[in-house]
Structure 1
Amino acid sequence: MTGLLPVEFLDTAGITFAAHPPPALTPRERVEVDRLWQETRAGNPAAFDGPIAAALGVDRPRAGELVVRWAPATYRMRALRRLRPPGRVPGSLYVTALVPTEGGILIGRGSPGTAHPGCWTLPGGTVEPPPPGEDLDIAGLRRHAVRELLEETGTRLPAGELRLWALTRSRRFGSLGFHFACPAAAEALVRRRHATLAGTRTAPAPETPPELDALAFVTSPDEATDLGPTADYLPQLLGRYFDSR
């Protein structure tokens, strides 16, 4: 693994999804996962063991096709990262939104109550399994990216205006990031909407601040990394984005 970049880019053509059962745990792992989750809750009472779609891997049955294997799980399953070698740990499916402005690409800093406080990322979040009877698909991921963008920044966009721009896979746990490009927005408007969101979230309920407690607009990967720690995918993704302009 030495010398490899944190994430690799996968082809976005011909993506389909195949649901699988959740990963099996040994009795010892069940006990440890529950114990580690209680530790997490003790350190962050706002932590919620909500549903997530775990990434089990990808298959390429033929040229131009990519099958994403996934399974329903909950956040506490991430404790397996402390119990198993990286190659045996399910990753996450997550979405992000690339919002260009005249000042640069929008990124945000995770607030203290989030899973990665102080970390700069694109707006986005972990994907949840679809409702019973529905299939996971790109349209659903697009809607999820729209929802995350609204919840984290106050920016509302029609789902049809987003397009899948890149797919990344983490080299450590195999997490899959579906990155959607958005139409250009005015920086001042984005800042104003986020400020309004922050005001409505903090005034009546200061214990639940916005997930992003600060915004920045960057024009290069270096500008992002100069701000502080970033999500593993961010420098590479920004580098590819700006190289393509």
Structure 2
Amino acid sequence: MDELMVLTTERLRLVEVEAPPLSAEEQELTDRAWDDAVLAQPSMFDGSVAASGGLGREGPDGLVLAWMRTTYRRYVLRKVPGATCWLPHLFVSVLQPTDDGRLLLGRMASWTAAPGRWQLPSGTGEPPKAEGEPLDVEGLRALAARELREETGTEAAAEDLGLECLLLGPRGDVGVVFRAPPRSVSSLRQQHESLIEAEKARGHDPELDQIAFASTSGELAALDGPTADYLALLVDRHSQYSQHELGRIGR
């Protein structure tokens, strides 16, 4: 598969699978790549993550998502030429609409893994704290609500986030995308500004150092930096959704 795919589903089931073990040589390569990554980006932390183990169909209207318990260091190998033991990402993203039909976008700060990149409020998949405890859609939904709050300052109850779609990347990465209730642009700006002030008061820099709003993919060219590979696709998809909703309300 060479292109990013957008998949919709009525049902999503998650199942845990074992991460492929590393040989001694692969472990050494992984540790060396991780040490190099930390030297380049000291904020990196080898915490627990839920990686993607594959996505498949289940019945006529369902999808099953396999996930693996591992740590961040299994991700760095994808940047090492010739390495084959890296794992695909699993992440959540949030479509935060405005009441005038645009989407909130954020620019990653200089200390993050993708400095300067514009994307949706997002977070890496996290496994349940207890070994053997299942990860489900509600767990991903709660993570999405937390990432929205931590990155933009906007509070949304997890139960108010609707499952929008799934993204399947050409390298096996899977994104689970949720849709938040619409907010005014002014309130979203104010909440992000308040978050920045609070973070700076604690001596921290925010994860998203700027926010912007877009209604079509053509507007992304005006942003001062690269964009996530899915962003143009989801912005245009949202635009179609907004036009449909306006037409429905106008009837």
TM over 0.5: yes
Per-residue deviation at 1:187? 1.0
What does residue 56 of structure 2 align with?
A: 59
Query: Within 1, Cα distance between the matches of 2:84 and 2:169?
Result: 11
Query: Within 2, Cα distance between the matches of 1:125 and 1:83?
Result: 23
- Give 2:222's aligned amino acid: D
Query: Within 2, Cα distance between the matches of 1:144 and 1:53?
Result: 12
Flag the 1:225–1:72 CA change in 2: closer, same or farther, 3 A.
Answer: farther
> Are the equivalent residues in 1 in contact too, given 2:96–2:181 (CA < 8 A)?
yes
Matched, 1:216 2:212: yes
What does residue 98 of structure 1 align with?
A: 95
Per-residue deviation at 1:89? 4.0
Flag the 1:182–1:219 CA change in 2: closer, same or farther, 3 A.
Answer: same
Flag the 1:85–1:68 CA change in 2: closer, same or farther, 3 A.
Answer: farther
> Are the equivalent residues in 1 in contact too, given 2:214–2:235 (CA < 8 A)?
no
Q: Secondary structure at the match of 2:196?
A: helix
Per-residue deviation at 1:14? 2.2
Give per-residue Cα distances to partners, 1:145-164, cap 9 Å, x unaligned: 00000000111111111100
Per-residue deviation at 1:61? 4.3
- From 229, 232, 237, the counterpart of 1:235: 232
Query: Within 2, Cα distance between the matches of 1:225 and 1:157?
Result: 29
Give per-residue Cα distances to partners, 1:183-205, cap 9 Å, x unaligned: 11111111111111111112331
What does residue 69 of structure 1 align with?
A: 66
**TM (normalized to structure 1)?**
0.91
The share of aligned pairs that are identical, in percent, is: 38
> Are the equivalent residues in 1 in contact too, given 2:215–2:236 (CA < 8 A)?
no
> Are the equivalent residues in 1 in contact too, given 2:167–2:174 (CA < 8 A)?
yes
Query: Within 2, Cα distance between the matches of 1:204 and 1:110?
Result: 19
> Are the equivalent residues in 2 in contact too, given 1:52–1:92 (CA < 8 A)?
no
Matched, 1:168 2:167: yes
Per-residue deviation at 1:231? 0.8
Query: Within 2, Cα distance between the matches of 1:224 and 1:161?
Result: 27
What does residue 108 of structure 2 align with?
A: 110
- Give 1:164's aligned amino acid: L
Flag the 1:161–1:45 CA change in 2: closer, same or farther, 3 A.
Answer: same
Flag the 1:152–1:236 CA change in 2: closer, same or farther, 3 A.
Answer: same
Unaligned stretches of 5+ in structure 2? 243-251
Q: Secondary structure at the match of 1:209?
A: coil
Per-residue deviation at 1:51? 1.0
Unaligned stretches of 5+ in structure 1? none
Supply the RMSD in Å over aligned alpha carbons: 1.8
Per-residue deviation at 1:217? 0.7
- Give 2:176's aligned amino acid: F
> Are the equivalent residues in 1 in contact too, given 2:123–2:144 (CA < 8 A)?
yes
What does residue 246 of structure 2 align with?
A: none
Query: Within 2, Cα distance between the matches of 1:177 and 1:112?
Result: 23
Flag the 1:86–1:163 CA change in 2: closer, same or farther, 3 A.
Answer: farther
Query: Within 2, Cα distance between the matches of 1:158 and 1:61?
Result: 29
Query: Within 2, Cα distance between the matches of 1:115 and 1:138?
Result: 26
- Give 1:155's aligned amino acid: T
Query: Within 2, Cα distance between the matches of 1:89 and 1:39?
Result: 16
- Give 2:156's aligned amino acid: L
